[in-house]
Amino acid sequence: MKIIALEEAFSVPGMATAGAALHQPTRFRPSVLAEFERRLPDFNELRLKDMDEHGVDMQVLSLTNPGVQMQPDAAIAVSDAQLANDVLAGVVQDHPTRFAGLAAMPLQDPAAAVRELDRAVNGLGLSGVLVNGHTLGHYLDEPRFRVFWEALAGHDVPLYLHPNSAPLGWSVFEGRPELIGPTYAWTIETGAHALRLICAGLFDQFPTAKVILGHMGEMLPFHLSRVDTRLSYIDSDVKLAKKPSEYFIDNFHITTSGVMATSALLGAVLAIGIDNICFAIDYPYESSTQAIDFLRGLPLSDADLGKIAHGNAERLLHLG
């Protein structure tokens, strides 16, 4: 079975921006961090070996969190995104059957991001973009980013919305730092970010725009019915043409990155359909062994398993 993993991280030494969540406050053990640091900038040795050992045909690479999103100098964000995207394109060019790429976007300057999007897709041959959550506290439903969404829809490539490791400042996590980050906090914020896009009417304005959410859709597939009912009782400043759940099914895909639970996968299939789900490992932050064992053990037909393992990603990212 062909396997494409859709959320696989890399770093670029030499960026002016500290390009890894590892440079943020963390509760991970030093030995774990050291292994992440060893694997993130590597493409040709550790990464390909891991892929071969586990039967992964292709990784779709993206600049690790927080990428360029927390760079306060817009000019530096632009140059760092260009550097990261050039490195990524070179890796894809060297190994076109093993790697594809999602470009970093310097949304500090939306007009520059539009230019970099065009360069990344038309010039470098990358397959979409990945944005690490908010950009300096600004979320993607804000009017300033409409020009970027217009360009994204025009290029017919998806935006992977990944969490941002910048501290949230929510009092509910005070005294419980183990809940900050990927354990739980990232899921809440990224899910809320996705719902902002829906509630702002973004997909009425850009009905062909596509967003990818990792980590089993940041658990939103299991909350959509409640969002539908609660919002039906609220007079919002934006009148939506459809239910929130309908936008999610029409405009979103999810990946399995970091959630290796058969119950969650089957629930997502029932909630949003098999055609909207793609496989991901979240290398090097998750175990390839566990992720592949989870995929191969799913109680699905060969046809449905093939959609999750590679078919949906090929269609979404125009691969192959």
Q: Which residues are marked as active site? A: 282
Q: How far apart are CA 270 and CA 286, in angstroms?
A: 25
Q: How far apart are CA 242 and CA 96, in angstroms?
A: 40
Q: How far apart are CA 153 and CA 173, in angstroms?
A: 37
User: What is the residue-wise DSSP string for the chain?
Assistant: ---EEEEEEE--TT-SS--SGGGS---S-HHHHHHHHHHTT--TTHHHHHHHHHT--EEEEEEPTTTTTT-S-HHHHHHHHHHHHHHHHHHHHHSTTTEEEEEE--TTSHHHHHHHHHIIIIIS---EEEEES-BTTB-TTSGGGHHHHHHHHHHT--EEEE---S----GGGTT-GGGTGGGTHHHHHHHHHHHHHHHTTHHHHSTT--EEEHHHHHTGGGTHHHHHHHHTTS--SS--SS-HHHHHHHHEEEE-TT---HHHHHHHHHHH-GGGEE----TTTS-HHHHHHHHHT----HHHHHIIIIIHHHHHHT--
Q: How far apart are CA 276 and CA 308, in angstroms?
A: 8
Distances in Å between the Cα of 210 and the Cα atoms of 11, 23, 49, 294, 307 are 25, 30, 32, 26, 18
Cβ distance 79 to 112 under 8 Å? no
